Amino acid sequence: MSIRNGVQLITYADRLGDGNIESLASLLEGPLNGLFTGVHVLPFYYPYDGEDAGFDPIDHTSVDERLGDWNNIKKLGESVDIMADLIVNHMSGQSEAFKDVLKNGRDSAYWPLFLTKEDIFKGSDQTQIDEQIARVFRPRPTPFFSNYEVGTETDTTETVPFWTTFTSNQIDIDVESQLGQEYLSSILTSFTESNVDLIRLDAAGYAIKRAGSNCFMLEETFEFIEELSNRARGMGMQCLVEIHSHYQTQIDIAARCDSVYDFALPPLVLHTLFTKNAEALAHWLSISPRNCFTVLDTHDGIGIVDVGASGDKPGLLDANAINALVEQIHVNSNGESKKATGAAANNVDLYQVNCTYYDALGKDDFAYLVARAIQFFSPGVPQVYYGGLLAAENDMALLAKTNVGRDINRPYLSTAMVKEAVEKPVVKGLMQLIKLRNESDAFNGEFDVSYKNDLLILTWTKDNDAASLRVDFGRMDATIKTLSNGEESVLSIETLLA
């Protein structure tokens, strides 16, 4: 199958519109009509409002009835490409399978489905285990393992430490077990029956654990992702791998799967606009994977690890540049991002800054549209997060209510609020850029990047069609030139705000 090379929307079904999939579809037919060729509907499984905003499913094969059902997903997929999350690494501690383990312990039919400390470190003494655990890559500051009392309805109860890479309610799955394989297959079947075209492999980098390793993106992990991608492809779907890691890892993964995220792009664009220097960005765009999806913002924070060093491997930015980048985000957001990041709020990642992209740029409409233009002209299929589409500001009220750092960029925007937001000049300008990206056939051709004397030029050519973005960082001027059917047009980014 072929995914359309146009701009896609990333959104929750309950946070954009009036709280369900049908309302989301109405927005795509109404004020957002004609903007998107695809939609990534963030977890809509039961429950969509769990501890981790749907990424801790109790039943991954069931649509939460408060949002709709599989028929709503199927109908939505008749007009746009649909992306859905396959949460590879874990399931909820409230799932029926894990509840059965709690009751019956090792006698449970589901015991092999979940990963325990013993499964990986069997035969090692405590000193060896401690040394090996110290090597494991951590995405969050929470403990590796959570102790659960199992066998509560049997004669032999015991306390067992289960792998919980993310939270104590997200129990890691043994994806290499027969039950693990059957579980993933059941989800793929639900997807293929409901017009899902793209599968986002969430947390796939943590799925394979080996004693003595960092348990992240091992060779066995590459093989697992490759095999799962092949299985999905055989069912008519493609896979997008979600990994936050060193940029070389992204390049390596891209060679072995359908597509990856370009997570280096968001911090590099910010760095470029903050410093008025596009050298690092131009270098990255000259080597970045072409089979990628580009984002500036997502339901998570603004990734930093993706441009940093890893061991003796240098990053796309050095430590001083990264520190300056993070500090400028805090300054531009009047300190709001600092309140939502690190120890200031719970449930945050170690490698991300929580802030809307619009606030990260100081609510500068011109800089924001330049950032989007760079994204749309970079190699890959562009995705725009619903908050970013509407230039939403940091939701400090929601952050105060939940104390979940990433909620600063996860607002609830009703249909009425959407209709009001699309009248803002910056949103109107962004919608024009989206339409330009969708309509030019040049973006199906060859890409070229050049940077010299403060001038960044991103160019696409296919046969007689061409599109180029020129950003002069000396004068902070940006223009787009397109050529189609022999007709040339020139668009100044600044005029989009008129």
390 in a labelled binding site: no
66 in a labelled binding site: no
135 in a labelled binding site: no
Distance CA 71, CA 166 (A): 31
Between CA 285 and CA 291, with CA 322 as vertex, the angle to 5 degrees is 25
Distance CA 339, CA 481 (A): 41
Report the chain's terminal Cα–Cα distance, integer Å. Answer: 41
Residues 268/281, Cβ–Cβ less than 8 Å: yes
Distance CA 38, CA 63 (A): 19
Our answer to whether residue 306 is catalytic in this structure is no
202 in a labelled binding site: yes
Amino acid at 194: S
Which residue from 49, 92, 93 is spatially nearest to 67, judged by alpha carbons?
Answer: 49
299 in a labelled binding site: yes
219 in a labelled binding site: no
Q: SS3 for 323?
A: helix
Q: Are strands 170-172 and 8-11 parallel, antiparallel or unpaired?
A: unpaired
Candidate list 14, 64, 100, 242, residue with the active-site label: 242
Our answer to whether residue 242 is catalytic in this structure is yes
352 in a labelled binding site: yes
350 in a labelled binding site: yes
125 in a labelled binding site: no
Residues 442/464, Cβ–Cβ less than 8 Å: no
463 in a labelled binding site: no
What separation in angstroms does the CA of 325 have from each of 94, 99, 361? 40, 45, 11
Which residue from 90, 137, 389 is spatially nearest to 249, judged by alpha carbons?
Answer: 137
357 in a labelled binding site: no
174 in a labelled binding site: no
Which residue from 446, 443, 444 is spatially nearest to 480, judged by alpha carbons?
Answer: 443
Candidate list 174, 202, 336, 407, residue with the active-site label: 202
Q: In 10 A of CB 465, how many CB atoms?
A: 17
140 in a labelled binding site: no
Active site residues: 202, 242
Binding residues for substrate: 52, 90, 200-202, 242, 299-300, 349-352, 406
